[in-house]
Amino acid sequence: MTDDSALRREMVDVCRRMNSSGINQGNAGNLSVRSSDGFLITPSSLPYETMTPEDIVEMGFDGTYVGRRPSSEWRFHRDILRERQEIEVVLHCHSLYATTLACHHKTIPSFHYMTGVAGGTTIRCAGYATFGTQALSDNALVALKDRLACLLGQHGQISLGKTMEAALWLANEVETLSRMYVQALSLGEPPVLSDEEMARVIEQMRKMSYGQAPDPEGTNDLARPRDAAV
């Protein structure tokens, strides 16, 4: 095993957690991580329960691979990692509520402020294309423009991250938002937050990701360590 053995072990762990958390079922879904010479990706048609680090496939951006046959969705993993240099991880799963919305080609609007975790005012739904095709990859890239997540029409969801933990967390958030939106729709189309408010929300989220206080207003109501000077 090469010096990417730690990445391979973490990939197996994250894949099993996808299933144990309920955001994926059976052999569905796949995971890729950028590596020094290309990327690592889960193999095709291998149950996560029996998958080992040695089964993870090494791929180049030219589409060549070493080892087992890669996931049938390798094209959108390759294209996302090639086009989005700030992204290190691509996670795809068939979570139930996100897929429910995707079956209706519904974009998730800013009905709840947490929609902003994907980087914009919406979580778009990509147009349908046959699984494993370049057309599906092309559609996903459009839906992911300036976003960290999208739905795939009549298919599932994609979540991106700088780490595997971040991508897994986002996939769970997308599924939670999808469930809330499906339930909200039972009462009618919910109101949405304005673009101006979502811009404030996204900026607050950006600040918090750097450990800064979320509220820029005032000086006396900011959280601070108890032993800090007043």
> Mind giving me the DSSP string for 72-141?
TTHHHHHHHHHH-TT--EEEEE--HHHHHHHHTTPPB-SSSGGGGGGTSS-B-EEPP--TTSHHHHHHHH
Query: Is 73 noted as a catalytic residue in this protein?
Result: yes
Residue 228: what pLDDT?
Answer: 55
Q: pLDDT digit string (tens) for 106-146?
A: 999 999 999 999 999 999 999 999 999 999 999 999 999 99
The Cα 56–Cα 43 span in angstroms is: 6
Residue 25: what pLDDT?
Answer: 85
Longest dimension (CA), the chain: 61
Residue 219: what pLDDT?
Answer: 43
**Could you tell me if 211 and 204 are in contact, meaning their C-beta atoms sit under 8 angstroms apart?**
no
Q: What are phi and psi of 222, to 5 degrees?
A: -85, 135
Residue 217: what pLDDT?
Answer: 55
**Could you tell me if 215 and 203 are in contact, meaning their C-beta atoms sit under 8 angstroms apart?**
no
Model confidence at 1: pLDDT above 50: no
Residue 74: what pLDDT?
Answer: 98
Angular region, 132: left φ>0, alpha ψ -120 to 50, beta rest = left
User: Which residue is catalytic, options 73, 88, 173, 175?
Assistant: 73
SS3 content of the chain, % helix, strand, coil (to 5): 40, 15, 45
The Cα 105–Cα 117 span in angstroms is: 20
Choose between 45 and 41: higher pLDDT: 41
Q: What are phi and psi of 78, to 5 degrees?
A: -60, -50
**Could you tell me if 40 and 11 are in contact, meaning their C-beta atoms sit under 8 angstroms apart?**
yes
Boundaries of every domain in the chain: 5-209
Interval 211-216 mean pLDDT? 53
Q: pLDDT digit string (tens) for 51-104?
A: 999 999 999 999 999 999 999 999 999 999 999 999 999 999 999 999 999 999
Residue 221: what pLDDT?
Answer: 52
Model confidence at 44: pLDDT above 90: yes
Q: pLDDT digit string (tens) for 13-39?
A: 999 999 999 999 888 899 999 998 899
Q: pLDDT digit string (tens) for 169-200?
A: 999 999 999 999 999 999 999 999 999 999 99
The Cα 19–Cα 208 span in angstroms is: 29
Write the CB contacts of 93 (distance below 8 Å, at least 6 apart in sequence): 18, 23, 24, 28, 29, 156, 157, 159, 171
Comparing C-alpha atoms, which of 112, 49, 45, 111 is closest to residue 73? Answer: 45
Write the CB contacts of 42 (distance below 8 Å, at least 6 apart in sequence): 11, 15, 30, 31, 32, 51, 55, 56, 57, 70, 71
Residue 222: what pLDDT?
Answer: 54
In CATH terms, the superfamily for domain 5-209 is Class II aldolase/adducin N-terminal domain (3.40.225.10)
Residue 220: what pLDDT?
Answer: 44
pTM for the structure as a whole: 0.90
Q: What are phi and psi of 32, to 5 degrees?
A: -135, 155
Q: pLDDT digit string (tens) for 144-170?
A: 999 999 999 999 999 999 999 999 999
